[in-house]
């Protein structure tokens, strides 16, 4: 019985975040977010922006503005849309043209190793799909056959920490049970997304915004410093 249970409950999909998890990010996302806010007259320090970077970006903008505007009526849809449009513009230009855009150590090797085991690889993000596609195109992950799914936060009803991006991938990948899915990310909201989806493994990685100590309070099943460790975890 144990062997049958192990076989039926094996991992079929691993969902990875982008910036800070699979792609190098030297606070580039936070800096673009900061610049977009500044263009609309809001001067916000990076330490307030960093913790929100895993969220869907319109939601993150609203959260930041609430710290600066005591009157919610000033936080209009038009203002949020204006800041988000500028952020998207900056991010697409950054990922298209900036030198040094590349995968973090062992990322592509880990994707390939998962495929060798017959496991699907998905990418999801707090970015809108246009930014996600710009990154994936730059790194040629589709051409290299390294990923199976890409989902942006604007493709579902609600982004992280809601489970909808993971659930969309499960539908697309014909995976019925969340216990056959692992989630990997570098932020608190990545961890909560995986937990809310019911993933068997929710793995925090220290290559991005959050340190091990900052991830620990959110109780991921694992915290790793090297993404290659994902293979060992899901193989148990």
For residue 2, the model assigns a pLDDT of 43
Of the ranges 97-101, 110-114, 119-123, 177-181, which one carries the lowest mean pLDDT score?
97-101
* CA-to-CA dists, residue 221 to 46, 79, 96, 169, 204, angstroms: 28, 39, 35, 21, 8
| Confidence category of residue 160, pLDDT binned at 50, 70, 90 | very high
For the segment 196-230, what is each residue's pLDDT rounded down to a tens digit? 999 999 999 999 989 999 999 999 999 999 999 99
Q: Inter-axis angle of helices 57-68 and 28-39, to 10 degrees?
A: 60
Strand order of the β-sheet with 149-151 is 149-151, 120-124, 13-16, 181-185, 201-205, 222-224
Would the CA dihedral through 163, 166, 167, 168 be positive or negative?
positive
Domain 2-25+103-234 has CATH 3.40.50.1000: yes
* pLDDT, mean over the chain: 93
For residue 228, the model assigns a pLDDT of 98
For residue 4, the model assigns a pLDDT of 44
pLDDT (mean) for 134-160? 96
Of the ranges 7-16, 92-101, 159-168, 220-229, which one carries the lowest mean pLDDT score?
7-16
Q: Note whether 30 and 61 are within 8 A (CB).
A: no
For the segment 21-37, what is each residue's pLDDT rounded down to a tens digit? 999 988 889 999 999 99
User: Which region holds residue 17: left if phi is over 0, alpha if psi is between -120 and 50, else beta?
Assistant: beta
State what percent of residues in the chain have pLDDT above 70: 96
Q: Note whether 207 and 104 are within 8 A (CB).
A: yes
* CA-to-CA dists, residue 189 to 91, 159, 182, 194, 196, angstroms: 20, 10, 15, 9, 10
* CA-to-CA dists, residue 41 to 83, 91, 181, angstroms: 10, 19, 42
Q: How far apart are CA 191 and CA 183, in angstroms?
A: 8
For the segment 116-143, what is each residue's pLDDT rounded down to a tens digit? 999 999 999 999 999 999 999 999 999 9
Q: Note whether 127 and 28 are within 8 A (CB).
A: no
For residue 70, the model assigns a pLDDT of 79
* Position 1 pLDDT exceeds 60: no
For the segment 78-87, what is each residue's pLDDT rounded down to a tens digit? 999 999 999 9
| Confidence category of residue 53, pLDDT binned at 50, 70, 90 | confident
For residue 5, the model assigns a pLDDT of 44
| Confidence category of residue 6, pLDDT binned at 50, 70, 90 | very low
């Amino acid at each position: 019985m144990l062997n049958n249970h192990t076989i039926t409950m094996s991992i079929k999909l691993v969902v990875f975040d982008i910036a800070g998890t699979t792609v190098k990010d030297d606070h580039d996302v936070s800096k673009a977010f900061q610049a977009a806010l500044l263009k609309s007259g809001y001067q916000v320090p990076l330490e307030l922006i960093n913790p929100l970077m895993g969220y869907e970006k319109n939601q993150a903008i609203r959260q930041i503005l609430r710290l600066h505007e005591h009157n919610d009526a000033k936080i209009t849809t038009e203002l949020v849309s204006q800041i988000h449009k500028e952020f998207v513009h900056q991010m697409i230009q950054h990922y298209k043209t900036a030198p040094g855009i590349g995968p973090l150590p062992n990322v592509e090797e880990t994707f390939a190793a998962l495929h060798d085991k017959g496991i699907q690889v998905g990418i999801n993000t707090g970015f809108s799909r246009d930014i996600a596609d710009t990154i994936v195109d730059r790194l040629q992950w589709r051409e290299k056959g390294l990923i199976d799914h890409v989902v942006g936060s604007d493709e579902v009803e609600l982004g992280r920490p809601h489970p909808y991006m993971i659930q969309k991938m499960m539908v697309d990948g014909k995976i019925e049970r969340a216990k056959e899915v692992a989630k990997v990310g570098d932020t608190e909201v990545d961890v909560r997304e995986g937990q809310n989806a019911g993933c068997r493994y929710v793995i925090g990685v220290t290559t991005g915004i959050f340190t091990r100590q900052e991830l620990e309070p959110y109780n991921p099943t694992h915290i790793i410093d090297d993404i290659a460790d994902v293979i060992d975890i899901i193989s148990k």
